Amino acid sequence: MTIDILEPERHAATTQDVVWRRLFIERNKMERFRMERDAVHVTMDSIPYGLRPEYYRRRRERLKKYFEDE
């Protein structure tokens, strides 16, 4: 048996690994995004309704400073 006979199998296995890896990474990104989004919702729900405008004002100021520094 020569290496030429095994080459198509190796290529197919490598291609499947690449596809699986790409899907795995995408699934993990989506899961991390979902967890971060849920954390934001929990944070927002914990802020009393009357203090939300103050929270948004301070958040906007922090973001302005962050983007000005870049």
Q: How much of the chain, in percent, has pLDDT values that exceed 70?
A: 77
**17 falls in which pLDDT band (50, 70, 90)?**
confident
CB atoms within 10 A of CB 55: 13
- pLDDT, averaged across the chain: 83
Report the pLDDT value the prediction gives residue 53, as an integer from 0 to 100: 92
Report the pLDDT value the prediction gives residue 18, as an integer from 0 to 100: 85
What does the block give as tokens for 36? 């971060």
Q: How many CA atoms lie within 13 A of 39 on its CB side?
A: 6
**9 falls in which pLDDT band (50, 70, 90)?**
low
